Structure 1
Amino acid sequence: MRELALRLATARKGVRRVVNGIEYRVDSRCRHRFAPGYEAAGAGFLCKRIAPGAVVYNVGANVGVLTVQLARWSGPRGRVLAFEPNPYATCLLKRNLRLNGLDSQVEIVGVAIGDTVGDVTLHVSGANGMARVMRANPLLPKTEAVRVPVTTLDRFWGSRQVKPDWIVMDIEGWEVAALRGGRELLSATEVGVVLELHPDAWSWCGDSRADLER
């Protein structure tokens, strides 16, 4: 009942959260994701390097904890493309962007990024950020298999011609496949890449550290 009451009371303006020194309004259902020091080391690195007007690919945006920060750092002249295939997370991501007036600066791209084009099975647990491709994350007690569209960084870049200054990626083990699908983009342009590695999941996708280092 308390959660329902909070959701109703904050339906219009959301809940106030301060993340890495920046204030946001967020949907009450995901307020605990917006921790005060969320990924502080990574955020500190990025905020010093993402210049006003930068274009950022946020691959694995989830509900937008990092997305809203990337949008603030790149400023009103910047652009963030938030790739998120989980339909449950996308609903909250849209709302969090609206609550912060960032829905015109951030474009949500509802696809997974990998090394192929088509569709793939994503094992989700609501909007939880630990959803994984190919096999369910053992840290999630209950998951649902959903089919989602997948494309490559090269295909997306080739079709849209939106050159990123930065690629920020956290996709729970599929990062090697995503980089493999972006070889043309990464070799043809100067782009900074920041990614979270999940080596425990690489074998599920048929990848290894050697594949990452190629």
Structure 2
Amino acid sequence: MSLQVPGLAAEITTFVHGEQDRFVSKRLREAGIWEPYESALLLRMLGPGQVFVDVGANIGYFSLLAAHCVGSAGAVYAFEPDPANHELLVRSVGVNDYAHIVHAEQAGLSEQTGAASLYLSEDNLGDHQIFATHQEREAVPIRLLNGSRFLGPRIQRLDVVKIDTQGSEYGVVKGLMPLFTRLPQPPRVIIELTPLSLRQCGSSGRALIELLSELEQDMWIIDHVEHRLVSSTAAELAQWCDDVDAVPGDAGFMNILIGPAPR
């Protein structure tokens, strides 16, 4: 199917899951677009020759948009540990002739390199997690990579990073921080902030925000309703995480941008 994203200069074809997935693939089948405002932000933030890293790439939607933006002079590194999602990602990369741009790794990122288990959601195939909860989920073995050690020898620049890993974001960022701090300019980071999932994975929303604050960059709430960026601070976001944590079972979340707002 073809993506229906405003601003695309060429057609992008993507493979999606069938009826089993009731979220990303379902939305793409119905509308040809996922998270319209975040898609528009990405198109504004990326240009020819730049480098994009997609952590928790799922079926590759944002990786395909990024490849369209950065072109043959740029690069996209897509990390997706789930075998079924990764297969669709690779098929989409191939059909769009993006194999020279998109480097798709069947792995997740973490602070440590090693083996892990991925606990699979039955109906939201973008909601797989690397930690077990009270829910009964099938588990598959996966590999995890330290982002700095993997990417460091491969890239000279890094412009935008998207991280959506269903609760393991702290470990992802912890592993990437040595690379971020070595770069002449830290990248923009789009990241999901879900205090409940972060806590279930052994961290917290506050810990993630305090880690990201070490980049000393602006922080923005991505408002998907009003289609705008709302300026915030590390203190405000950490307090919001504490407030969510104070309500048992509250699965509230938001996506945030770290770095300068795109023009």
* 1:155 has 2:130 as partner: no
Distance 2:204 2:15 in 1: 37
What residue number does 1:71 align with?
67
Q: Which amino acid aligns with 1:59?
A: V
* 1:174 has 2:162 as partner: no
Instruction: Compare 164-173 and 17-26 and name the one that shifted more.
Output: 17-26
The total of aligned residue pairs comes to 197
Helix, strand or coil at the partner of 1:181: helix
Distance 2:162 2:71 in 1: 17
Sequence identity percentage: 28
Q: Which amino acid aligns with 2:2?
A: R
Alpha-carbon deviation of 1:128? Answer: 0.9
What residue number does 1:130 align with?
127
What residue number does 1:16 align with?
2
Alpha-carbon deviation of 1:60? Answer: 0.9
Task: Map 1:102-117 onto structure 2 (within 5 A).
Answer: 102-117=98-113
Distance 2:79 2:177 in 1: 18
What residue number does 1:44 align with?
40
1:169-202, CA deviations, whole angstroms, 9 ceiling, x for partnerless residues?
A: 1111111111111221121212221112222201
Match of 2:201 among 189, 196, 205: 205
| Structure 1 residues 40 and 154: alpha-carbon distance in aligned structure 2, compared to 1, 3 A threshold | same
* Structure 1: runs of 5+ lacking an equivalent: 1-14
What residue number does 2:177 align with?
183
When the two structures are superposed, what TM-score results if normalisation uses the length of structure 1?
0.82
Distance 1:188 1:26 in 2: 35
Distance 2:134 2:58 in 1: 16
Helix, strand or coil at the partner of 2:111: coil
1:66-104, CA deviations, whole angstroms, 9 ceiling, x for partnerless residues?
A: 111011111221110111111111111111111212122
Distance 1:108 1:168 in 2: 14
Helix, strand or coil at the partner of 2:4: strand
What residue number does 1:26 align with?
14
1:8-46, CA deviations, whole angstroms, 9 ceiling, x for partnerless residues?
A: xxxxxxx33323453322236455352434112212222
* Structure 2: runs of 5+ lacking an equivalent: 19-24, 212-263
* 1:143 has 2:140 as partner: no
Instruction: Compare 93-102 and 27-36 and name the one that shifted more.
Output: 27-36
Alpha-carbon deviation of 1:109? Answer: 1.2
Helix, strand or coil at the partner of 1:25: coil
Distance 2:64 2:197 in 1: 27
* 1:54 has 2:71 as partner: no
Distance 1:176 1:148 in 2: 18
Q: Which amino acid aligns with 2:193?
A: L
